[in-house]
Structure 1
Amino acid sequence: MDGFRGRKAVVTGASRGLGRAMAAALAAAGMEVVITGRDRDAMAATVAQIEAAGGRVEAHALDVTETADVERFAENVWSAGPVDVVIANAGISLVKPAIETTDADFMRVIEANVLGTFATMRSFGSRMRRRGSGKLLAISSDIGIRGSANWVAYAASKGAINAMVKTLAWEWAPTLTVNAIAPGAFSTDINSHLLSVPEIMTAITAETPLARVGDPAEIGPLALFLAGPGSDFMTGQIISLDGGIQKS
């Protein structure tokens, strides 16, 4: 853990769920963590949790679809000291049959998930490249790999993130590493309305070898590994964290 002390990480979309869990894990390891989100009350809860555990954290309101704001945010954070790790986690989901998905629905998901991730990667990646080091991590989804009915816009957005990660890994090597975590079903606020439906929970556990959904705390150790020196020889990887769901 001493290798994380004195280093700084940025986690977007860290007001709750997996973003909060990853930010908490990095802070617990000794990193200074900067979090963003759109829900100020939820961000305050994340800050309170991290500070109660002795971690260092600051919060900034940010909508990653406003790319000029992302660039200003990156400049402000970097001016206070270089960033070592960036986790582009901010995003939204949409569960809707394809024939009912409007252009506006589709583009809203693409802007939040794809453009928001790219803007975050570009703003911090450019600065990391000038410094000569850094680790970038995007959050994909198992649905972006295997697909799933009624998730067309979300699946397309996460598939695009996978392609983005692999491309940036080539473009920014050997200076930076760029990887992604592809979670399966996790018990978070964003999908609580789905997991509360017995038929949906039964279907998820039936197709998952470990026969359960993930706990947000279980993503923290993987994020920590990808943020640390143990992953220095890894780049362009999409790492599934989904209980063993088959992809084909």
Structure 2
Amino acid sequence: MKTIIIVGGSKGIGKALVEKLLATCNVINISRSTPETSHNNLTHHQCDVTQDELPNIENADGLVYCAGSINLKPIGRLSIDDFKNDFEINVIGAVKAIQKYLPILKNGSNPVIVLFSTVAAKLGMPYHASIAVAKSGIEGLVKSLGAELAPTLRINAIAPTVTDTALASKLLRNDKMIENITERHPLKKFLSPEEVADMAEFLLSEKSSSVSGQVFELDCGIVSFKI
């Protein structure tokens, strides 16, 4: 049974992934809040990845960094601290986790890392300057580490569009906003956390053993199509 470390597995996409993996994997969750789910295969470490020392873990075959932010403001209202904070949670936190657990991952079975970007790194969207900067850093990290760590370890990222989580609740806070978001996507839908977790599960599995250094757009067509 493989052991997967998930940073930020108590809410949203991370929570959906934890619940998906528990039947077949040992899951080690690292997050500020305790997961609602309890299971014999689940171990939880309470930790703020930006502030605290990450826990020591003896072995792992995969690492998924789910911690992130959505900070949408006009450029004139974004402070330098906004940019720093978004970069800290999205990029520095991911680097910190990778550096901490890379030695044990290299000893794992077909080890893999999964990170998260956003469609806003590819598609110019108003008010996304800070998060687009941070997630573009994640995409550069995936490309660089994919080359550096091959063939020992694979690393990929998922770039979702709007996903129905607490983090995106301000974008989906009423029926009119939900209708507008739905209509903007060519597939006339947005994402559920479970859909994104399905892609993460695939990237962690042997089914994706030939895939590394890639960023997968789960975009419901918004980046890919002009209709």
What TM-score bracket applies, with the shorter chain setting the length?
over 0.9
CA deviation map 1:87-125 (0-9, x unaligned): 011122201111110011110111011100111122222
Distance 1:10 1:131, change over 3 A: closer
**Structure 1: where are the runs of 5+ without partners?**
1-5
Matched AA of 1:56: N
Tell me by how many angstroms 1:242 deviates.
2.1
Report sequence identity in percent: 28
Deviating beyond 6 angstroms after TM superposition, the runs of 4 or more aligned structure 1 residues are none
**Structure 2: where are the runs of 5+ without partners?**
none
Tell me by how many angstroms 1:83 deviates.
0.2
SS at match of 2:48: coil
> Is the counterpart of residue 61 in structure 1 residue 37 in structure 2?
no
Which one of 155, 163, 173 corresponds to residue 186 of structure 1? 163
Alpha-carbon contact 1:132-1:175 (below 8 Å) kept: no
Alpha-carbon contact 1:125-1:136 (below 8 Å) kept: no
Counterpart-to-counterpart distance in 2, 1:181 and 1:246: 14
TM-score when normalising by structure 2? 0.92
Which one of 216, 227, 233 corresponds to residue 193 of structure 2? 216
CA deviation map 1:138-178 (0-9, x unaligned): 01111122131111111111111001001000000010000
Distance 1:23 1:132, change over 3 A: closer
Partner of 2:30: 36
Tell me by how many angstroms 1:207 deviates.
2.2
Q: Which moved more, 1:175-184 or 1:144-153?
A: 144-153
SS at match of 2:22: helix
Counterpart-to-counterpart distance in 2, 1:185 and 1:69: 31
Alpha-carbon contact 2:119-2:223 (below 8 Å) kept: no
- Spell out the pairing of 1:90-239 with structure 2 (5 A cutoff): 90-129=67-106, 133-239=110-216
Q: CA RMSD in A?
A: 1.8
* Paired residues, number: 225
Tell me by how many angstroms 1:198 deviates.
4.2
Alpha-carbon contact 1:114-1:161 (below 8 Å) kept: yes
Counterpart-to-counterpart distance in 1, 2:30 and 2:201: 18
SS at match of 2:68: coil
Alpha-carbon contact 1:91-1:113 (below 8 Å) kept: yes
Tell me by how many angstroms 1:24 deviates.
1.2
Bigger helix fraction: 1
TM-score when normalising by structure 1? 0.85
Partner of 1:3: none
